[in-house]
Structure 1
C-alpha cells in the first residue's frame, strides 16, 4: 500500500510534466503510466529482495516453479476473462460514442462516465478482494457458513461505501466534471450533460458494488467459468443490445448507451447473486486426523 501511494504521487507529477511541459502532449499520458508502473515494480522487487521476512520467497530459478502452472492457469485464465469481459463492455461504450452525431462531445462524456465508474469501483475493490480471499480461506478450512457470512458482511460494507461515493458525486459533480475539461466553452456544455448523467451513474455505481462482491465470491468459490458465461451473456447479449437500441435506434445517445450497460450490469449482479444462493458451496477436501486432531489432505 505504501509503495502504491508513492507510485501514484510520482505518477501525478510525471503525467502532468510530460503532458504539459513537453512536446508529447497526450502521448505523455501512456508514457507516464508505463514509467509509474515500472517504478512500482522496482520498489516491490527491492522490498522482496532486501526484507528478511521474504528471505524464502525467492531462491532463484528452478524447474519446480513449473509444477503448478496448469493448476494456476485453470483459475487465472477464467478469472482474467471474466474481468476483461466487464472492462471491455464499458470501453466499447466510448467507441460507440464515436459513431454518434457530435461524436467528440458524446465520446468525451462517456469517457468521463467510464472513468468515474471505474474510480468508484476501485474504491470498493479492496472489499471485493478481501471477500474473495476470506471466502476461499473459510471454504478451505471447511467452514461454508462462515464463508457465506463473510459475503453478507462484505456486501453490506460495499453498498454502504458506494452510497458515500454517490453522495460525493451528487453534491460535487460540477467540481468533478471540471477536472476533465480545459476550455470554458466546452465546460458549460459538458457540465450540464454530465449533471444529467449523474442519476444514471448513481444507479450503476450501486449495482457495480453488488456485482463486484458477487464476482469476488465467485472467484473465491472457484466458479470463474460460470462467471465468464454470465458476463458474456449479460454484458454483450443483453447490455450491448439494449445500449445499441436505445443509443442509436431511439436516439438517446450517451444516456441510451449508459442505460444499456446498467441493464447488463443489473442482470449480471442478479444472476451471480442467484448462483451464490442456489448453488451448493464447495467444501474442503480436508478431514480431521483422528489421532492428532489436525486437518490432513485426503
Structure 2
C-alpha cells in the first residue's frame, strides 16, 4: 500500500512537472511568434498611419487656399483616389500570397519575377482608370455636383494621376519586402516622406503662394519619394536573394496572376467601399448636415483605428503565407490565433475607451454642441465597430496569406451587400432609426462576415492548404528564371 502511495505521488509530481513544462513551452511559443509578428506589424501600422496622414496634411494646407478648393480636394481624394486605392491595393494583395509562400518555401529567385508580374498587371489596370481622372469635371457635373467645385476637382484630378500611379510601386514593393520581414526601411521612408511633405506644403502653399499647384506638387513628391527609396533598396543589392534582375519570365503566365489579382481586388474593394455607402445612405435623412458631420467624425476615428488592424492584416498574411510555404500547417494555425487575439485585445481596450468617452470625442474635431450630442449618441456603435474591426481585417489577412481571395469576395458580397445594406436601409428609412439604423445594418453585415470567416478558418484543412501552396509554387516556378534574366546592373 505504501509503495502504491509513493507511485501515485511520483506520477502526480511528474504530471505536474509536465504541465509546467507545457505551459512554459506555450508561453515561449507565444512570445516567439509575437516577436516575429510585430516585426511585420509595427512598421506596417506606422506606414499606414503615415500614408493616412499624408492626405490629412494636404487637406489642411488646401483648406487655407479656399473653401472651394478644399471641397474639390476632398471630393477627389475621398472618391476617386479611394476608388483607385481600393482596386490597386486589392490587386496587389495577390503578390502577398505569392511572395509569402515562395519565401517560406525558399523559392527566392521567383519572388522578383512575381513582383515584376504584379507591376505589369497593376500598370495596365491604372491605365484603364486614367480616363476617369481626365473626365472628372463632366462626370461630376453629370452627377449633379456644383459646376465651380467640379471644375476645380477636374484640375486636382489631373494632378492626382501621378498619385494613382505611385500606388503601383508603393503597394507591390511593400508586400515584396514584408514577405521577407524587411519592412523597417518602409517605415523609415514613410516618416521621411511625412517630414518632407510638411515642409514642402508650407513652402509651396503658404510661403510661395502657389495654391493648388504647390499643394499637389508636394503631395505627388510625398507619395513618390518612398517609392524611389524602396525600388533602390530592392534592386541595388539589399535583396540579393530575392531580386535577380529584370526577367522576361515576368511576361509569362500572366493570366493566373491576373485572375488572382482580380479576385483580391474584388475582395478588398467590397470592404473598403462599404463605409462609403454608409455616408451616401445618410445624405438624404432628416437634419442631414449634423448627421453627416457626426458620422464623419466617427468614421475618421474608425479610419485611424483601421490602420492598426490593416497592420495586423499585413502581419498575419505574411506569417500564414510563409508557414504554408514552409509546409508547416500547425505553425500557420498558431500564428493566426496569436495575431487575432493580439489585435482583439487592442480592439477591446479601444472599445471600452470610446464607450466611456462618448460625446467628449467630438470636441477634438468640432465646437458644435449639437454635433457632439449626435456623436455621443453614435459612440456605442463606434465602439462596436472598433471591436469588430480588430478581428475582421485580420481574418481577411488570413485569406490573403492562404490565397482564398475569390472565396472571400463572394462572402463579402453576401454579407455586406445582400444582408448589411438592405438591413441598414430597412432600419434607417422604414423604421426611422435614421443614421443609427443604417449603421446597425452595416455592423450586422460585418458581424455576419466575421462569423463566416471564423467558421471558414476553423473548418479549413490546413494540411491541404500546405499542399495547395506547394502546387502553386511548383506550377509558377517550373521555369528557371536565371536563364532568362536581364541583369539589373546591365
Task: Give the TM bin, normalised by the shorter chain.
Answer: 0.7 to 0.9
Could you tell me how far 1:3 is from its partner in structure 2?
7.5
Distance (Å, rounded) in 2 between the aligned partners of 1:278 and 1:3: 33
Compared CA separation, residues 92 and 10, structure 1 to 2 (3 A): closer
Of 241, 246, 261, the match for 1:76: 261
Larger helix fraction of residues: 2
Report the counterpart of residue 252 of structure 1 in structure 2.
433
SS at match of 1:53: coil
Could you tell me how far 1:34 is from its partner in structure 2?
8.2
Could you tell me how far 1:206 is from its partner in structure 2?
1.1
Could you tell me how far 1:198 is from its partner in structure 2?
1.1
Of 401, 424, 428, the match for 1:220: 401
C-alpha distance after superposition, 1:148-168 (max 9, x if no partner): 110000010010111232344
Compared CA separation, residues 108 and 65, structure 1 to 2 (3 A): same
Distance (Å, rounded) in 2 between the aligned partners of 1:253 and 1:34: 41
Distance (Å, rounded) in 1 between the aligned partners of 2:50 and 2:267: 30
Could you tell me how far 1:176 is from its partner in structure 2?
3.5
Could you tell me how far 1:65 is from its partner in structure 2?
2.4
Could you tell me how far 1:126 is from its partner in structure 2?
1.0
Aligned residues: 284
Distance (Å, rounded) in 2 between the aligned partners of 1:109 and 1:214: 29
Report the counterpart of residue 265 of structure 1 in structure 2.
446
Report the counterpart of residue 154 of structure 1 in structure 2.
339
- Root-mean-square deviation (Å): 2.9
Distance (Å, rounded) in 1 between the aligned partners of 2:440 and 2:54: 36
Distance (Å, rounded) in 1 between the aligned partners of 2:380 and 2:216: 31
Could you tell me how far 1:101 is from its partner in structure 2?
1.7
Compared CA separation, residues 58 and 155, structure 1 to 2 (3 A): same
- Asked whether the 8 Å contact 1:7–1:39 carries over to 2, the reply is no
Larger radius of gyration: 2
Compared CA separation, residues 124 and 251, structure 1 to 2 (3 A): same
Distance (Å, rounded) in 1 between the aligned partners of 2:358 and 2:251: 50
Compared CA separation, residues 116 and 66, structure 1 to 2 (3 A): same
Distance (Å, rounded) in 1 between the aligned partners of 2:269 and 2:393: 13
Unaligned regions of 5+ residues in structure 1, if any?
A: 288-295
Higher RCO by CA contacts (8 Å cutoff, separation 6 or greater): 2
Report the counterpart of residue 107 of structure 1 in structure 2.
292
Report the counterpart of residue 95 of structure 1 in structure 2.
280
Could you tell me how far 1:37 is from its partner in structure 2?
5.3
Could you tell me how far 1:246 is from its partner in structure 2?
0.6
Compared CA separation, residues 34 and 126, structure 1 to 2 (3 A): farther
Compared CA separation, residues 35 and 256, structure 1 to 2 (3 A): farther
C-alpha distance after superposition, 1:132-160 (max 9, x if no partner): 11101111111111101100000100101
Of 94, 108, 124, the match for 2:309: 124
Of 458, 475, 479, the match for 1:277: 458
- Asked whether the 8 Å contact 2:323–2:329 carries over to 1, the reply is yes
Could you tell me how far 1:203 is from its partner in structure 2?
1.2
Of 328, 331, 346, the match for 1:143: 328
- Asked whether the 8 Å contact 1:204–1:262 carries over to 2, the reply is yes
Compared CA separation, residues 136 and 115, structure 1 to 2 (3 A): same
Distance (Å, rounded) in 1 between the aligned partners of 2:273 and 2:347: 22
Report the counterpart of residue 27 of structure 1 in structure 2.
72
Return the TM-score normalized by structure 2.
0.53
